[in-house]
Chain A
Amino acid sequence: MMKLLNKRNIILILILLAVVFPFINQNQYYLHILTLAFIWTIAVYGLNLLAGFTGYLSLAHGGFFAIGAYGLGLLTVKGGLGFWLSFLLAPLITMAIGLVIGLFALRTKEHFFAIYTLCVGYIIYLVIDKWESLTEGVRGLIGIPAPEPIGPITFTTPIAQYYLTLVIFLLVVLIIYRIVHSLTGRTFIAIRNSEELALSLGISTKKNKLLSFVLSTFFAGLAGAMYAGFIRFIGPEIAYTTITFDLLTYMIVGGIGTLAGPIVGTFLILILSQNLQFLQDYRMLIFGPLLTLLIIFSPRGIVGFILLHYSNWKTKKRMTIPKDQVKEG
């Protein structure tokens, strides 16, 4: 039984579930929520790469998400470019802006970095909100086109969009997995654990921090572009700190610095808040204290909690086996 429940099989089962979900479920609304959850998870992965694995808490993530969304929106609506070209360009633009901001932001550390990025996020929001001739301000950007068909595949139905999102989502998870388990990922973790030590080991912390920052903005921009292509209407409120704090909540609840954390946190909270519809405006009454309690009692979130107890259980088992053998012998 335990053999069947190993890591690879669980992942395969989950993917299979995600693939057959539209056939089991006839409710369009759930499909919509699930598609959104995939998109948010991608943004959370970006945040997790920087905050969880590199140890730099960026509070400008909502802003970068909005840059990606507005990038796609403006290129298609005002620039007249095709969807896929814009979809490719939007995350790259976000990355370029992230590179410039990262160059300055990463000169600061810890609290200063958090405050700096919080201010950057606010500036992004204000610029989007006030620059009416470009972004239409509070009216928002309307009429973003749906993805154009690739060959015979069209993306007009919700099911097709669900699969498109799922494919990109799985790709992102794979890429994140590869990054975290590569030398670069180990370098990030080394920086998180001790920047001085990493530096003394000959790691260029500056270069690697910048790489982590730029990668994180890439995923934020990608998620933003997907959001704009899916919802097809965007307003300046997607750049507000609320979004950053939402993303942060998903990450902390799921488990900061873990691979499964962003998925667990995002899906759990989104599904919970759907079932607690009456809570919509007040959901933070529950999730705010949850965030604080988790950070006090289980700083690595739900996934961290499970991993800890799982490994405790495993070591306990290993410890007890020799004892039994001694008795028998």
Chain B
Amino acid sequence: MELLLQQLFNGLTIGSVYSLVALGLTLVYGILHIPNFAHGALYMVGGYITLMMMTNAGLHYVLAIVVSIIVVGLLSVLMERLVFHPLRDSPPIQDKVAAIGILLFLEALAQLLWGADYRQMPTPFGEVVNVFGLTLTLQRIIIVAAAIAVMIFLYWFLKKTFIGSTIIAMAQNREGAALVGINTNKVAILTFFIAGALAAIGASLTSPINLVFPGMGHLVILKAFVIIIIGGMGSIPGAILGGYILGFTESIGATYISSDYKDIIAFVLLIIILSAKPQGIFSKGGA
């Protein structure tokens, strides 16, 4: 029973990070219909910026995350302006290839700047606490708490503020949004900034319990794709729910089935879902 509870909490931790990354991906997909393969690279850069700010600039963990959010957010905007904006009217295959090009570039750049080795990120929240008989590190509690706070904030921003609802409007109908006077370019820039920021938060939160390396985004981005397909491409509650479903499935699968194959679970799940329902479950009537 205790093992199960422990694993459920692990699932909650992993799921929180997955949800954050998937949210960024689903927002971008929602407004521009681009599967942004470079999102994993943003995640990786986010991890590195936080790490560098802490080790080289000596900033506090929280401050380092703020810097990382701004840098990655701007990088994401730059990507939209330089690459996806010029490609907005081209066939879908070209967006994908362009995104892969960016991904390859950023990974090589990270390797050049920061080396290929695995690095550990220190955290000021290293102590172990006991909650209801479970031994948890404070960092894990912070991951869950911060992720949920960010999600609630995002939800509030999208639903209750004027700027936020322009994003929703554009996701619902691009032409319609333009017709009522929404500047679609500004919304696209904003969305890419948010997506980059979410990737940076996700990476910075999880790095102290995982490691930072150039290929750290590979698996996460693939899983984020799985999540947004499960949750419906473009759906925000779907991304959050999907993230937690995958987090729980993985941590329980790793304990009770095989930890060697835990990474395969997500992909098998996706293959089964897409084989049965090619448009994904919860899809909002076609992609």
Contacts and interface: CB of A to CB of B under 8 A. Distances in A.
Interface of A: 51, 55, 57, 104, 107-112, 114-116, 118-120, 122-123, 126-127, 130, 241, 245, 248-249, 252, 256, 281-285, 287-293, 295-296, 299
B86 interface: yes
Given A57-B96, A123-B271, A130-B260, A112 B102 contact: no
A323 B248 CA distance: 75
Contacts of B267: 119-120, 122-123, 126
Contacts of A299: 90, 94
B225 A287 contact: no
B222 A118 contact: yes
B101 A291 contact: yes
B103 A288 contact: yes
A292 B98 contact: yes
Interface string B101-139: 111111111011000100000000000000000000000
Contacts, number: 125
Given A107-B278, A119-B271, A248-B97, A292 B105 contact: yes
A318 B157 CA distance: 61
Given A112-B280, A296-B83, A126 B94 contact: no
Interface string B219-248: 000100110010001000000000000000
B274 A295 contact: no
A120 B271 contact: yes
Q: Nearest 9 CB-CB pairs, A to B?
A: A288-B105, A291-B101, A292-B101, A288-B104, A284-B108, A284-B104, A119-B267, A107-B278, A104-B275
Nearest to A291: B101
A134 to B, nearest CB: 14
Contacts of A127: 264
Contacts of A292: 83, 97-98, 101-102, 105
Interface string B64-98: 00000000000000000001001100101110111
A94 B103 CA distance: 28
B104 A109 contact: no
A293 B102 CA distance: 10
B264 A284 contact: no
B274 A108 contact: yes
14 contacts: A55-B93, A104-B274, A110-B93, A111-B233, A115-B35, A119-B222, A119-B267, A123-B264, A284-B107, A289-B101, A290-B101, A291-B104, A295-B98, A296-B94
Given A281-B116, A285-B112, A296-B83, A114 B271 contact: no
A287 B261 CA distance: 33
Given A126-B263, A288-B104, A296-B87, A282 B112 contact: yes
A65 B280 CA distance: 28
Nearest to B228: A115
Nearest to B264: A126
Nearest to A52: B93
Contact of B104 (A57, A110, A122, A245): A245
Contact of B98 (A115, A126, A291): A291
A107 B97 CA distance: 21
